[in-house]
Structures are given as structure tokens and as C-alpha cells.
């Protein structure tokens, strides 16, 4: 593991945000990404197109929810900063959080329909299903609370009438997880057009999770593109 500088991590956050849009799991400025840095975290700014952002636009915040200075530009953090902060706080090994509005995952979230064990890759979220949270308005403490409940024992969930939330050890890991969950959501929606999918049982998913343990550890360990105070 190597430590990235503050500037390099800011650049990596923007690269990940742009990749999120390029992969079709987000549109415009609606999603947000954060990464841990020392005792603080960095998060994408509110209301600025990622293609127009520079590393200086990324906002550094303390775990108390206070923007840390000096900020070269007076940018506001994403309105979802509480959700990011709370996940990073309760999961000390987590390095990055991603929230987005991918079409298929969001469609299921608007139906308030979780993704069951129709496919073994559902284990990418750390359990036997991918839950859908209760509803709360964006940017609120209530949304953070209901998201944390849905994420209990999981590394991804759907947010009711809203979108997708993922956590991982690194920026690269959280992007991979988000892409896979959206792929699963698309596959599940397609299967539902034909009929009701046959679900894997608890014993079958236990076996999947056991076989996935090494892969999941790779996504969820603290990783190369989180940063310390160096540089």
C-alpha cells in the first residue's frame, strides 16, 4: 500500500466520478463520491459538473461535518455528505463511498424492490440480497439513518425512490462494486419481464459467499487510492 497526497486523491476522486458517468451509472452532477484522508474525508462538490471540476473543487471535511481549510475555492460539499461521513465513521476500514442514480438500480429503488438472490453475483454486496432502504429526503439525517440501516452487514444497497449506495476499501473498489450492482439490477429487470426468477437458497448463497471471501476482501480492504497526510 502507498499513500497518496491530498492533491492526488482529489484528482483520483474526480477521475472516478467521470468514470462513473462514462459507465452510465450516473448522469450530470447527481451522484457523489468521497474518500477517507487521515482523520478527514474528501467529497465531490455540490452542483458542479465533474468535467468542469478541478482538484481544488473537491471539499475536505472533518468527521464533525465541518469543511476544513484552507479551501482555495469556497465550494459547498455534496448535499449527501452526512451519509458519506456516517458510513466512513462506522466502518473504519472503509476508504470510499459512492452514491449514484443508475437507471436500473434506481428503477428498482422507485419500486422499493430489493434485489434477491437470483444470481450468485448478488454476493458482491456482502450478503444474500441487496436491500432497499426506507424513504427519506435527500441530504437529510433521516436519509443517512435509513441508509445505514439498509447497509447493516452489506456493502451496497438501494435507496428508496432515489438510487444506489456503495462502500469499499478504495475508489477503484467502490466503482467496481457500483458497476456490478447496476449490472445485476439490469439483469433482474430483464428476468422479471419474462417471469419470476428462481432464487438461490440460503445454503447455496452461503457457499457463494464462502467462495467470494477472497474477492470481497480485495474490494473492502483499505487500499492504494486512499490517503494519509503525506504530501
Structure confidence by residue, pLDDT tens digits, 105-135: 999 999 999 999 999 999 999 999 999 999 9
In this predicted structure, what is the pLDDT of residue 219? 85
Report residue 216's pLDDT band, with 50, 70 and 90 as the boundaries.
Answer: confident
- The model's confidence at residue 40, banded by pLDDT at 50, 70 and 90, is very high
* d(C-alpha 204, C-alpha 12), whole Å: 38
- The Cα–Cα gap between 42 and 62 comes to 9
Q: What are phi and psi of 98, to 5 degrees?
A: -130, 130
pLDDT at residue 78 above 90?
yes
72 pLDDT above the threshold of 60: no
* Helix, coil or strand: residue 113: coil
Beta strand spans in 45-174 (E): 59-62, 96-100, 156-159, 163-168
Residue 102 has pLDDT above 80, yes or no: yes
Mean pLDDT over 156-173 rounds to 97
Which DSSP letter does residue 173 get?
H
- Say whether 80 is catalytic: yes
Q: What is the DSSP string of 31-45?
A: -EEEEEETTEEEEPB
pLDDT for res 14: 97
Lowest mean pLDDT among 40-44, 161-165, 210-214: 210-214
CATH code of the domain covering residue 159:
3.40.225.10
pLDDT at 71: 54
Count the domains in the chain.
1
Q: Is residue 229 part of a domain?
A: no
Catalytic residue among 12, 80, 149, 180: 80
pLDDT band at 2 (very low <50, low <70, confident <90, very high): very low
**225 lies in a domain?**
no
Least confident interval from 6-15, 70-79, 207-216: 70-79
Greater confidence, 109 or 218? 109
Report, as an integer, the average pLDDT of 62-81: 80
Domain membership of residue 228 (yes or no) is no
The CA distance from 143 to 81, in Å, is 11
Nine cell digits for residue 33: 463520491
In this prediction, residue 214 carries a pLDDT of 82
Is the pLDDT at 225 greater than 80? The verdict is no
- Whether 226 is covered by a domain: the verdict is no
Domain span at 57: 6-220
Say yes or no to pLDDT of 158 above 50. Answer: yes
- Please check the confidence at residue 1 and state whether its pLDDT lies above 80: no
Spatial contact of 167 and 96, defined as CB atoms under 8 Å apart: yes
Query: What's the pLDDT at 141?
Result: 95
pLDDT at 222: 60
Q: Indicate the average pLDDT of the chain.
A: 91
Strands 96-100 and 32-37: antiparallel
Is residue 231 situated within a structural domain?
no
Q: Is the pLDDT of residue 231 over 50?
A: no
Residue 41 lies in a domain: yes
Query: 120: part of which helix (H) or strand (E)?
Result: none
Domain assignment present for residue 1? The answer is no
* 66 found inside a domain: yes
Amino acid at each position: 500500500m502507498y499513500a497518496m497526497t491530498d492533491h492526488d486523491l482529489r484528482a483520483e476522486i474526480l477521475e472516478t466520478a467521470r468514470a462513473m458517468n462514462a459507465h452510465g451509472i450516473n448522469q450530470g452532477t447527481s451522484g457523489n463520491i468521497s474518500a477517507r484522508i487521515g482523520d478527514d474525508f474528501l467529497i465531490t462538490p455540490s452542483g458542479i459538473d465533474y468535467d468542469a471540476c478541478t482538484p481544488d473543487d473537491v471539499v475536505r471535511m472533518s468527521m464533525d461535518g465541518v469543511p476544513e481549510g484552507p479551501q482555495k475555492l469556497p465550494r459547498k460539499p455534496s448535499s449527501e455528505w452526512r451519509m458519506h461521513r456516517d458510513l466512513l465513521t462506522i466502518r473504519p476500514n472503509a476508504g470510499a463511498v459512492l452514491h449514484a442514480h443508475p437507471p436500473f438500480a434506481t428503477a428498482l429503488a422507485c419500486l422499493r424492490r430489493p434485489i434477491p438472490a437470483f444470481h450468485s453475483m448478488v454476493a458482491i454486496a456482502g450478503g444474500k440480497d441487496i436491500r432497499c432502504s426506507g424513504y427519506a429526503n435527500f441530504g437529510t439525517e433521516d436519509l443517512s439513518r435509513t441508509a445505514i440501516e439498509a447497509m447493516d452487514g452489506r456493502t451496497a444497497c438501494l435507496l428508496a425512490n432515489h438510487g444506489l449506495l456503495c462502500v469499499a476499501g478504495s475508489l477503484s473498489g467502490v466503482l467496481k462494486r457500483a458497476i456490478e450492482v447496476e449490472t445485476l439490477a439490469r439483469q433482474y429487470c430483464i428476468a422479471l419481464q419474462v417471469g419470476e426468477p428462481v432464487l438461490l437458497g440460503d445454503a447455496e448463497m452461503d457457499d457463494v459467499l464462502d467462495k467470494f471471501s477472497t474477492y470481497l476482501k480485495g474490494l473492502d480492504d483499505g487500499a492504494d487510492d486512499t490517503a494519509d497526510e503525506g504530501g
